[in-house]
Structure 1
Amino acid sequence: MMNFPLLKHEMLATAKLFCIILAVLMLYIISIVYMYNPEMSNTLKQLTATMPEMMAAFGMGSIGDTLIEFLSTYLYGFLLLILPLVFIIMLANKLIMGYIDNGSMAYLIATPNRRLKIVFTQASFLIASIFILLTVTTLVAIIFSEFLFPSELDIPAFLTLNLGLFFLHFAISGYCFLVSCSSKDLKTSYAYSTGLPIIFYLIEALSNMGGSLEKLQYFTIYSLFAPEKLMAQDSSSIWMLGTLFLIGLLCYTLAVRIFVKRDLYL
């Protein structure tokens, strides 16, 4: 089912983008872990007090008393949502619509490989790339937390939190891949694959500010990713993760079906 020469090509072609995103994530994660100390915490609390609504919009309304709560506040409200999203949008569009737009898809289809094999390889590569990216960042956070603050990080809860993050990006990547497989051109594909996730994030940010805007959170996929419930291993987090998985699976399934059956004007 896998086209290994194509898979190898994608690995080489994506290496630069992957390394850039990973390097930025690692730098930010290491910086946040290092900032977990009483002096810096007091500074952050003062900053939060001066701009409560702005900080709440980015999920930074409460610093927390433990290391995992601190990391949850400053990593999972903005950076680990947005940077992987940028990677997903760029890669999902490149893997299918990028080939169609520059005419390379004609050469792929002309090889003794069925469309199903091609699209399955591209979908698998996208999912694996996201998994590796988040796995490495998780390991980096754990290693530096244990090095700087031994035994202070609740590792099982932290792993559960990152599992939830993977399912969130799995669902978003499924949508972006579906758009890439069904759009008429690259411009349209980028517009839809970028627009809806960003709108969802902005809605989530507005709902975090509280008040009458709080109910807006139920209109976004980000409401299915609840760090506080994942860390507490709340029973409701199970159906949230299941919903994210089903959304992603449905989108990937539709994407494969559409690509196999669509007319390609190459």
Structure 2
Amino acid sequence: MGSLFTVMMKNNAKSIGSFTLGSIFYLVMIIWIYPYIADSKFFETMFETLPDSYMKAFGLHAGISSMSGFVAGEYYGLLFIVILLIFSVTTATQLIARLVDRGSMAYLLSSGLSRTKIALTQMSVIIIGLGVIITTTTLTGVIGAEQFIQEGNFDAGSFIKLNVVTFLLFFAISSYCFLFSCIFNDEKRALAVSGGLSFIFFAVDMLAKISDKLDWLQYFTIFTTFDATGIAEGNVDILPISLGLGIAGIILYTVAIFIFKNRDLPL
């Protein structure tokens, strides 16, 4: 089991590293440009003239007076979500469905490892990958704010809480992606279903925020639990959200492993 974990981590190290570097790059850029935007009358006027629904949808309702709120809206409200969605969907699919589809799973099973051990090992790879990306991003944000921001309007504690909830959100998202990877033999089908569902969740969340008439849609998307700007500004109690996301992820991962253990696999 240990050797399988080592091999899988090596196979996915390049992907994890690429997503981590991409996350660092974009976050540093946003932190670096914040002082220029905060001091710009043009951007201040622009934010004041944008519709409230648009500001809410993109997490910009905090404006530019607080760096914590600005980073949460500009990065955690959209770009970081997309980065982690792509990582979760593609990695979960590769760890199980791709191996089954290409016949590699038969070789793993012939090595004497049980299906449960294989599934647990693959699950640990994606969870550790998410942990590496988000932990590195957290450290980058704290250090970057210290280096570039002089006003002292960055709340490091709330920023860390934001990243904790981000990890748990994608722990839950990766769990249903992993579940579909365990259900389908076809890599493309697993990718399409997990990616399609994630896109629908994201689109539904945007629609619920843009239109008051569609706010009932918030009950049909996992992203309702993630108010990045509110968390970054210390206005959200993250304990119930964290517990809910953590429990949901544990349940879905458990179901995924149970299904993989008991289903018929193509030889």
The two structures have a TM-score, normalised by structure 1, of 0.92
- The aligned runs of 1:1-266 (5 Å cut-off) are 3-37=1-35, 39=37, 42-48=41-47, 52=51, 54=54, 56-150=56-150, 151-231=152-232, 233=234, 236-266=237-267
Give distance in 1, aligned partners of 2:46 and 2:17. Answer: 32
For residue 228 of structure 1, report the CA deviation from its aligned partner.
4.2
2:7 partner amino acid: H
Q: Secondary structure at the match of 2:119?
A: helix
Amino acid in structure 2 at the alignment position of 1:149 = I
Cα distance, 1:202 vs structure 2:
0.4
Equivalent residues of 1:146, 1:152 under 8 A apart: no
The separation in 2 between residues aligned to 1:43 and 1:251, in whole angstroms, is 47
Aligned partners of 1:224 and 1:241 also within 8 Å: no
| CA deviation vs aligned residue, 1:112-158 (integer Å, no higher than 9, x gap) | 21111111000011111101110001111111110111544211111
Aligned-partner SS, 1:187: helix
- Are the counterparts in 2 of residues 26 and 140 from structure 1 also a CA contact under 8 Å? yes
Give the counterpart letter for 1:258 in structure 2: I
User: Does the 8 A contact of 1:226 with 1:237 survive in 2?
Assistant: no
**CA contact 1:63–1:70 (8 Å) conserved in 2:** yes
Contact 2:175 2:252 in 1 (8 A): yes
Distance 1:51 1:122 in 2: 45
- Structure 1 residue 57 displacement after superposition: 3.1
Checking the alignment, whether the CA contact within 8 Å between 2:161 and 2:238 is kept in structure 1 is no
Distance 1:20 1:56 in 2: 30
Kindly provide the CA deviation profile for residues 163-216 of structure 1, in whole angstroms up to 9, marking residues without a partner as x. 111110000000000010011311210111101111010011112213212232
Aligned residues: 264
Alpha-carbon distance in structure 2 between the residues aligned to 1:210 and 1:65: 25
Alpha-carbon distance, 1:49 to partner: 5.1
The answer to whether the 8 Å contact 2:91/2:126 transfers is yes
Unmatched tracts of structure 1, length 5 or more = none
Q: 1:50-94: CA deviations, max 9, x gaps?
A: 654555433334424222111111111101211111011110000
Q: Is the 8 A contact 2:73 2:229 kept in 1?
A: no
Work out the CA distance in 1 between the residues paired with 2:73 and 2:202: 16
Compute the displacement of 1:230 (Å): 2.8
Q: Does structure 2 conserve the Cα–Cα contact (< 8 Å) formed by 1:59 and 1:208?
A: no
For 1:126, the aligned partner's letter is I
Deviations 1:32-65 (A, max 9, x none): 1012125455443444456545554333344242
Q: What's the TM-score once normalised by structure 2's chain length?
A: 0.91
| Cα distance change on mapping 1:103 and 1:47 into 2, 3 Å | farther
Q: Which has the higher relative contact order, 1 or 2, with Cα contacts under 8 A spaced 6 or more apart?
A: 2
Measure, in 2, the Cα distance between the counterparts of 1:235 and 1:30: 25
**Percent identity between the aligned chains?**
33
Q: 1:44 to 1:62 in 2, by over 3 A?
A: farther
| Aligned mates of 2:144, 2:65 — CA distance in 1 | 19
Supply the distance in 2 between the matched residues of 1:44 and 1:56 (Cα, whole angstroms).
Answer: 17
- Residues 4-50 of structure 1, C-alpha deviations (whole Å, 9 max, x = no match): 21112122211222222222211110111012125455443444456
